[in-house]
Structure 1
Amino acid sequence: MDGSEPGEDTPAAVLSGAPVELQARTVRIYCKAKAATQSGDWQKHHWRMDWDVLGRGHRWENPLMGWQSSADFMQGTHLNFKSKEDAIRFANKQGYEYFVQEPNERRIIPKAYADQFVWNSKPLKQVRTK
């Protein structure tokens, strides 16, 4: 993308003089998943945008310490938005290619202790204790 493409506006990344490597990156817009140890769903109300990891071997291992290093300066960067539409609007304004990953819907199956004692026409279930 160099600013000569047809469209409504010139992307802000082109006007700001951002590096070409940053302009050509694809961003992922998604809703962060709930942590397995938490019962609340606070993270469902926020949308997040982050840059895809670069391929082509931009990672190496430090021979002295054995730590992983990377030349990808956007690897640990993410942006938070209040809605999916805000994130899409921002990506369009910056001229980024994006894809939206929709969150999985939770299926809550209602359960009750009393359901164990409801009459059922099926044969009785035999449970062996010894």
Structure 2
Amino acid sequence: MVARIYRPAKTAMQSGQAKTRRWCLDYEPEVAKGPEPLMGWTSSADMKSQIRLYFATAEDAVAYCEKNGIAYRLVEPKERKPKTMSYSDNFKFGRIGIWTH
């Protein structure tokens, strides 16, 4: 089973960068999820899909995998460029976009 090492992206409900600076290690699924015959819930027999470990740096996560003999795949994060917009830009004369109110 292959482990994936990545930095999680911020959720749609976050405005800040909390919990996006640490590195996450989780396992890629071996068995596809499917409906349970009795209740119809989605389930899987893959127990390693429940494991998620967090590390301060990618090097720590790679060292953990190499120490324990775990095959891994390192996914580099895509850095987003910061928006440079001020409050006064909402009211400037040459504003691009329609005024809504």
TM-score range, shorter chain: 0.7 to 0.9
1:45 matched to 2:45: no
Q: Which amino acid aligns with 2:71?
A: E
Distance 1:85 1:45 in 2: 14
The runs of at least 4 aligned residues of structure 1 exceeding 3 Å deviation read: none
Q: Which amino acid aligns with 1:73?
A: M
Q: How does 1:48-63 map to 2 (within 5 A)?
A: 48-55=24-31, 59-63=33-37
Which structure is larger by alpha-carbon Rg, 1 or 2? 1
1:35 matched to 2:11: yes
Q: How does 1:13-92 map to 2 (within 5 A)?
A: 25-55=1-31, 59-92=33-66
1:109 matched to 2:79: no
Deviations 1:65-94 (A, max 9, x none): 111222211111111111111000001111
Report the CA distance between 1:95 and its aligned residue.
0.9
Q: Which amino acid aligns with 1:42?
A: A
Distance 1:71 1:103 in 2: 30
TM-score, normalised to structure 2, is 0.79
Seen in structure 2, the aligned counterparts of structure 1 residues 69 and 37 have a Cα distance that, compared at 3 Å, is: closer
Q: Across the two proteins, how many residue pairs are aligned to each other?
A: 94
Structure 2 stretches of 5 or more lacking a match?
none
Q: Which amino acid aligns with 2:52?
A: H
Report the CA distance between 1:60 and its aligned residue.
3.9
Point out the more displaced range, 68-77 or 44-53: 68-77
Contact 1:31–1:43 (Cα < 8 Å) also in 2: no
Q: What is the aligned counterpart of 1:100 among 42, 61, 74? A: 74
Contact 1:27–1:99 (Cα < 8 Å) also in 2: yes
TM-score, normalised to structure 1, is 0.63
Report the CA distance between 1:28 and its aligned residue.
0.2
Structure 1 stretches of 5 or more lacking a match?
1-24, 119-124
